[in-house]
């Protein structure tokens, strides 16, 4: 069996590195959960970890304390493992203002944020790699400890397509829109589906290239990987699998249960506020949550959907 992880480098382990790598590998194979690799800056700790990954041949999560160090580790591991799926997973906020309430003035400040689209693409690409490959190294900041939705549901709603498959154009469009893709014919960017006659172009949110589905009647005639700007055909594909454009995705059967659960909690909270004579708060939460419910019902998504993660995952309170 060929090795999945293979280092490409002109350097080899030297000095104390070979013994350190040997001990790390031995302890992992013996089931030891915690180990510490000591060394000053510039002594080759990253190279030692790369050799460890090559020896144990397991998908790896590398956590760094901040984005800067994560980016450095990502670039180094990407260079050492050019044929493997090395990905970068950090917080995608350029700006974040948490929601706040000032009881003295009665002022409510709504949560506001700005998302870096390129980092969001890298996060989705990380999830895509984990679910489709085994030779995966994810370099992440501590943001990886926060929930991003149910990964099994993210895969469950994906769309499989192959040449010769019988499927209506409208069914393809409906499926990708349910995965939070936007239908646009002018601005073609990540997370967009474009339709021209019997041709459906999909720009996956986790790729740098787009997918073109050409139909003849109700049969897929060809699937091509294309350049999103020039439309140049880069590769002919026998099949493809389209994954959602966001991490928070709700399968239809789960959405119905989640909406009902949210309504029940909303009713309780409104009653609580009214009993406390906080009528403004009761009115505000009712207006906000009902708007979110309508968005989830119609679009399958709403701003701040992570606030409802307990209901979406079917978890009990607490």
Whether 123 and 191 share a structural domain: no
pLDDT value of position 129: 94
Cross-strand pairs, 137? 60, 86
pLDDT value of position 317: 82
pLDDT of 101 strictly over 80: no
> Is 260 domain-assigned?
yes
> Is 1 domain-assigned?
no
- In 111-238 the beta strands, taken as DSSP E runs, fall at 112-115, 136-140, 159-162, 182-183, 192-196, 199-203, 210-216, 219-226, 233-237
> Is 227 domain-assigned?
yes
Whether the CB-CB separation of 302 and 292 falls below 8 Å is answered with yes
**Domain housing 66:** 17-145
pLDDT value of position 291: 94
> Is 150 domain-assigned?
no
Of 202, 220, 242, the one marking the end of a domain is 242
Mean pLDDT for the stretch of residues 275-292 = 92
Residue with tokens 């003035």, as numbered in its chain:
105
Whether 86 and 173 share a structural domain: no
Whether 178 and 139 share a structural domain: no
Q: For the domain that residue 194 is a member of, what is the CATH number?
A: 3.30.2060.10
Whole-angstrom distance, CA of residue 265 vs CA of residue 257: 13
Encode pLDDT of 144-171 as tens digits: 887 777 788 888 889 999 999 999 999 9
Whether the CB-CB separation of 157 and 131 falls below 8 Å is answered with no
Whether 256 and 235 share a structural domain: no
Of 145, 175, 198, the one marking the end of a domain is 145
Give me Rg for the CA atoms of the chain: 24
> Is 151 domain-assigned?
no
Whether 25 and 140 share a structural domain: yes
The C-alpha angle 237, 243, 245, rounded to 5 degrees, equals: 125
Give the predicted TM-score (pTM) of the model. 0.80
Mean pLDDT for the stretch of residues 211-230 = 96
Whether 187 and 233 share a structural domain: yes
Mean pLDDT for the stretch of residues 187-202 = 95
Say how many C-beta atoms besides its own lie within 10 A of residue 80's C-beta: 23
pLDDT of 1 strictly over 60: no
Encode pLDDT of 65-78 as tens digits: 999 999 999 999 99
pLDDT value of position 3: 61
> Is 8 domain-assigned?
no
Say how many C-beta atoms besides its own lie within 10 A of residue 228's C-beta: 18
Whether the CB-CB separation of 247 and 148 falls below 8 Å is answered with yes
Whether 100 and 218 share a structural domain: no
- Mark residue 164 as left, alpha or beta (left: phi above 0; alpha: psi -120 to 50; beta: remaining): left
Residue with tokens 């450095």, as numbered in its chain:
72
Whether 218 and 257 share a structural domain: no
Whether 175 and 89 share a structural domain: no
Higher pLDDT: 97 or 31? It is: 31
Whether 54 and 110 share a structural domain: yes
- Look at the chain and report how many structural domains it folds into: 3
Q: For the domain that residue 121 is a member of, what is the CATH number?
A: 3.40.50.300
Whether 165 and 126 share a structural domain: no
pLDDT value of position 2: 47
Encode pLDDT of 168-183 as tens digits: 999 999 999 989 899 9
pLDDT band for 103, please (50, 70, 90 cuts): confident
Of 107, 124, 145, the one marking the end of a domain is 145
> Is 21 domain-assigned?
yes
Whole-angstrom distance, CA of residue 278 vs CA of residue 195: 50
Whether 46 and 112 share a structural domain: yes
> Is 10 domain-assigned?
no
The secondary structure element, H or E, covering residue 107 is strand 107-109
């Amino acid at each position: 069996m060929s090795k999945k992880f293979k280092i490409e480098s002109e350097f080899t382990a030297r000095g104390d590195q070979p013994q350190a790598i040997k001990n790390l590998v031995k302890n992992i194979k013996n089931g030891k959960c915690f180990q510490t690799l000591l060394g000053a800056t510039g002594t080759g700790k990253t190279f030692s970890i790369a050799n460890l990954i090559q020896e144990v041949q397991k998908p790896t999560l590398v956590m760094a304390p901040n984005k800067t160090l994560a980016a450095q580790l990502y670039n180094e591991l990407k260079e050492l493992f050019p044929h493997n799926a090395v990905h970068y997973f950090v917080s995608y906020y350029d700006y974040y203002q948490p929601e706040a309430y000032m009881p003295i003035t009665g002022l409510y400040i709504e949560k506001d944020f700005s998302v870096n689209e390129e980092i969001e693409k890298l996060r989705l690409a990380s999830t895509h790699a984990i679910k489709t490959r085994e030779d995966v190294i994810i370099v992440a900041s501590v943001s990886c400890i926060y929930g991003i939705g149910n990964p099994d549901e993210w895969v469950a709603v994906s769309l499989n397509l192959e040449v010769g498959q019988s499927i209506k154009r409208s069914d393809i469009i409906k499926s990708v829109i349910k995965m939070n893709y936007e239908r646009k014919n002018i601005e073609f960017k990540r997370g967009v589906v474009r339709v021209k006659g019997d041709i459906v172009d999909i720009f996956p949110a986790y790729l740098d290239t787009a997918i073109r589905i050409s139909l003849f009647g109700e049969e897929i005639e060809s699937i091509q990987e294309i350049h999103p700007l020039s439309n140049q055909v880069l590769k002919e594909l026998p099949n493809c699998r389209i994954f959602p454009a966001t991490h928070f995705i709700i399968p239809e059967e789960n959405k119905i249960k989640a909406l009902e659960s949210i309504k029940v909690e909303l009713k309780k909270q409104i009653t609580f506020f009214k009993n406390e004579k906080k009528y403004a708060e009761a009115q505000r939460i009712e207006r906000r949550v009902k708007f979110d419910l309508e968005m989830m019902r119609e679009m399958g998504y709403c701003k701040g959907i992570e606030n409802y993660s307990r209901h979406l995952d079917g978890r009990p309170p607490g």
